[in-house]
Structure 1
Amino acid sequence: MFPTYEHYKQERAALIDRDRSLRADYAQVFSETELKADRIVRSIRTAEAASIWGAKHPEIAHPFPGMEFLTGRSIIVKTKLFEILSKMPKGALLHVHLDATVNAKTLLGLALEEPAMHVRVPQRLTRDNIASVLMEFKALPRGMVTDSESYMYGLTGAGYAPNTWVPLRAARETFDVNLGGPEGFDLWVVGVLSIDPSEAYGTHNTVDKIWEKFASIFQVSGGLIYFAPVWRKYLYEFLRSSVEDGISYIEARAMFFMEYMVGEDGMQNVPHREWLLMFDEVQNALKEELKQQARESEFIGARIIYTTLRFITTEELDWYCEDCISLKKEFPHLIAGFDLAGPENILLPLIDYAEGLLRFRERQREEGVDIPLILHAGETCGDGTHADMNLYDAVLLGSQRIGHGFSLVKHPKLMEACREKGILIEVCPISNEVLRLTSAMPMHPLPILMNNGIPIAISSDDPGVFGNVGLTFDMYQVLVSSEVTGLATLRELARDSLKYSTLGPKDKEEALDSWQRHWEIFVEWVADLSS
């Protein structure tokens, strides 16, 4: 006996219901205002899929919602949906690398304010080599550079001697007019410090190739960022722009690989503790500014995930762990966790550091501190490669959250473990796409993670490099790439970002309460859009 069509439809609805029962947005209680706002957002998404993404764009061959971000960004910013999401209270930003949080043009502007900042290149710049030459930046002690001719020739003059330091301002002012003059200099620097569509989707369209470009950016930008006067202004710009985008709390990965930063005197003599003092001073100054504007509830604060690189030796790991413990004891309110970063496909796997990380846990017990591991793992397309296998070690080592976890969907038992243990995955949609783990957002494994009930926080990873500063762009890409996902889903993602942060119970409760108040104001505004 075949079922009736009515019975068939009931079975179908029940199967869909069971299939989605593990999602964070399943069986949650939503107010009438939230449901109305959700319907409005879905309606706008549907309309813009046809009217905007379905329209012809001369500069873009095949536009579609969730397409390659660097190409589609110019369309995204024109949408009503993007405007709505830009006003959304987003909770916490849990995965972002501090030395890639401010866009390249702004960073260059900050550096140009500092007379001590210099630049050099290995050969005189010409039209033939400018696309391939990398510059080096460095703040030099007053009076160290005495070659006045280098000022006159700049980087493009016939008399420029290779590897000669030139004051940054002078290099810009003397830039050859045939290469664009000062504006050409800006374009050159910004091009080196960011990834453009032609690179991500053309010349560097594989994971290994794009990582070469990606790594070169940090080699160059460090000379600008890790100079104390720039560092302070850089931190302020990052925190300010985050607040303006609706982010109320941040746990940023700070790279402590270098033992010292360059100080105002041009000497590399600023230790890690001074980095944290500046971080605290800057965020406290921002909090005071917001308080004066009656906006103090918009920013809870920011903390640091101590991070170093995966090519250090196991012996060096012990030094960094001890340094982290020392900083945690002096700045218990600032150190949120510990991580090892870098291209997983290339650098050492977690198993090589497992013994040292277990020893780190024991040293914490001895010193009376708690520094959770918050490890990068599974940022790969591999299946059974050492990068993919890092996920097993992250779970077994007790990582409180996992950064990226892109290949996690290949491992049913690990997904089950993450769900049962409450291990949140810090998903970085735009980063994963630009770094070629997926071709576009509709192919991203995020829905698989969500449908398996794994806690998720949407993050931006390296927004200064990708042009996705804040969280609005990543939220947008997630929303337009799934018919299941709606505003109600984004509510749960934002809540989980705070719920799975390293804030203490009291601070977490206050953060969630504050976020809820802002959320209610936001959905009221969205619900009124149809009026």
Structure 2
Amino acid sequence: MAPSTRPCRKNGSKTVGERTTAMTRKRELLADERESAWDEPARQRASSLEVQVGEVITKLREHERFELFGNVGREELPRPDQLDMGGKFLVNKQRIERSIIFEIACLMPKGAHLHLYFNAELPAEKLFPYAQQLKNTMFIRSKRALLKPQDLAETEIQFNVLPKDTKTGNIFTENYDINWKSPENASWMKWTDFREQFPADMTFGELDSAECWAPEKMIITPNKAYAEHQTTNGVWACFNQGTRAFKGLMNYASVYRWYIGNAKCSWTSQDPADDGVGKLGHNEQMEIVCEEVEKKKQQYGDRFPFGLKIIYCTPRSIPHAKMKSELEDCIKLKLAYPDFNLYDALLLNAKRIGHGYALLKHPHLVKKYADAKIFLELCPISNELLELLAAGLHCTLNADNPALYR
């Protein structure tokens, strides 16, 4: 057989023509990716000044990657004070608050807050001074008797405003009644008595030991969120326990009005009045919301054209009878405060969804969401590592439950 006349390649090397073709295809792939990038339209229409500002922002970001966070590629293991700029939100929160990039973001114009829970907007520490004033009607209960440090760390608590003659127990005794569901239970303890008997080794400003401990039961800390054996269900349980405890601190008329005025938005569940006897129903809540929003409009004027929409929802865990009464209230409120969103509901074309946490697990849906321009309401704790923008999805950034993340 005659020897081959084709040129011999050493170690599988490519010819000049093949290398040129590969480089051309690589440039084409990069160009295609750039063209489909979520921020490409903004880049294309950017003015020379905007381009210059973008370059400054990029330099600031890289400066903070090295100087503020410090965890960059190197041979040595990172020190405890060196964090990953793209790391987990709760770990990085204090660094983010020192960031110039974050300061610039705070000064940028905003549209609307699309995803914000009413009963987790302001820190619990701001509510405790009001709770102190309800000496006979603010109560607390615990899922276990508080006899040792482990109990303090692991229990769930709830607050509520109740009649002053409510049957009570002592949370700090072995025979404390932990059966919350029993109609004859004595699980509630007056908040005043609880504070007096709580171990007196913690203080913070005008707050006593109990008021320093209780907020820890309402927030999601890095240890709770990122513990070695933590699970998604576990974090969700922490979240639910926190919101349940938080809600009881603001479910009375005077603080509800104050809260609306300070938080300037949304909604909560059915609440009793200050005396723990009269009920503050949904209609009364709506009247307070409207009154306080009108006050804010007059206060800010043209400087803050403020408005809000209320999303009426209930927990999925409530009994059927309670769900029926909630729906009846919803219908009554719609009749009293009508709008035209029934047309949108009829068409069933959603404009946005909350979180979209599992969306990337369904690739066939990603393009449909992107093409339909359905926006995702992202929150720092739930979507901190998802590459949603890179997938072509439309996103908004929201606080969700700002008082719960520390």
Normalising TM by the smaller chain, what interval? 0.7 to 0.9
Does residue 74 (structure 1) correspond to residue 94 (structure 2)? The answer is yes
- Cα offset, 1:408, TM superposition: 1.5
- Cα offset, 1:165, TM superposition: 4.6
Does residue 413 (structure 1) correspond to residue 355 (structure 2)? The answer is no
Find the aligned partners of 1:464 and 1:194 in 2 and give their Cα distance. Answer: 7
Q: 1:212 aligns with which of 237, 243, 253?
A: 237
Alignment correspondent of 2:4: none
Larger radius of gyration: 2
Q: 1:112 aligns with which of 132, 156, 161?
A: 132
Alignment correspondent of 1:88: 108
Counterpart mapping for 1:130-279 below 5 A: 130-141=152-163, 143-144=164-165, 163=186, 165-178=188-201, 183-202=208-227, 205-239=230-264, 254=267, 256=269, 260-267=270-277, 269-279=279-289
Contact 1:110 1:234 in 2 (8 A): no
- Cα offset, 1:189, TM superposition: 0.5
Paired residue type of 2:165: M
Contact 2:350 2:374 in 1 (8 A): yes
- Cα offset, 1:13, TM superposition: 4.6
Find the aligned partners of 2:249 and 2:159 in 1 and give their Cα distance. Answer: 6
Contact 2:252 2:280 in 1 (8 A): no
Contact 2:64 2:99 in 1 (8 A): yes
TM-score by length of 2: 0.78
Does residue 26 (structure 1) correspond to residue 40 (structure 2)? The answer is yes
Contact 1:124 1:161 in 2 (8 A): no
Specify every segment of 5 or more residues in structure 1 that has no aligned partner in the other structure, as ranges: 240-249, 337-368, 374-395, 434-440, 468-531
Does residue 431 (structure 1) correspond to residue 403 (structure 2)? The answer is no
Q: 2:389 aligns with which of 421, 431, 447?
A: 447
Contact 1:175 1:185 in 2 (8 A): yes
Find the aligned partners of 2:17 and 2:125 in 1 and give their Cα distance. Answer: 64
* 2:350 match: secondary structure: coil
Alignment correspondent of 1:356: none
Alignment correspondent of 1:15: 29
Find the aligned partners of 1:309 and 1:164 in 2 and give their Cα distance. Answer: 23
Alignment correspondent of 1:459: 398
Contact 1:60 1:71 in 2 (8 A): no
Contact 2:203 2:209 in 1 (8 A): yes
TM-score by length of 1: 0.61
Which of the pair is proportionally richer in strand? 1
Contact 2:71 2:78 in 1 (8 A): no
Specify every segment of 5 or more residues in structure 2 that has no aligned partner in the other structure, as ranges: 1-14, 178-185
Find the aligned partners of 1:83 and 1:13 in 2 and give their Cα distance. Answer: 36
Once the two structures are superposed, what CA deviation does each residue of 1:209-254 show, in whole Å capped at 9, x if it has no partner?
1122222122322222322222222223323xxxxxxxxxx7x5x4
Contact 1:431 1:460 in 2 (8 A): no
- The structure-2 alpha-carbon separation of the partners of 1:10 and 1:31, relative to structure 1 and needing over 3 Å to count, comes to farther
Which of the pair is proportionally richer in helix? 1
Amino-acid identity (%)? 25
- The structure-2 alpha-carbon separation of the partners of 1:328 and 1:146, relative to structure 1 and needing over 3 Å to count, comes to closer
Find the aligned partners of 1:165 and 1:315 in 2 and give their Cα distance. Answer: 25
Paired residue type of 2:93: R
Contact 2:38 2:389 in 1 (8 A): no
* 1:456 match: secondary structure: strand
Find the aligned partners of 1:370 and 1:316 in 2 and give their Cα distance. Answer: 28
- Cα offset, 1:261, TM superposition: 1.5
Contact 2:37 2:390 in 1 (8 A): no
Find the aligned partners of 1:267 and 1:97 in 2 and give their Cα distance. Answer: 26
Contact 2:89 2:381 in 1 (8 A): no
Counterpart mapping for 1:373-522 below 5 A: 398-428=349-379, 430-432=380-382, 441=384, 443-449=385-391, 452=392, 454-467=393-406
Paired residue type of 2:316: R
Alignment correspondent of 2:334: 328
Find the aligned partners of 2:276 and 2:78 in 1 and give their Cα distance. Answer: 49
RMSD of the TM alignment (CA)? 3.7
Find the aligned partners of 2:252 and 2:294 in 1 and give their Cα distance. Answer: 20
Find the aligned partners of 2:322 and 2:146 in 1 and give their Cα distance. Answer: 38
Contact 1:100 1:465 in 2 (8 A): yes
Find the aligned partners of 2:352 and 2:263 in 1 and give their Cα distance. Answer: 23
Contact 1:193 1:465 in 2 (8 A): yes
Find the aligned partners of 2:101 and 2:61 in 1 and give their Cα distance. Answer: 7
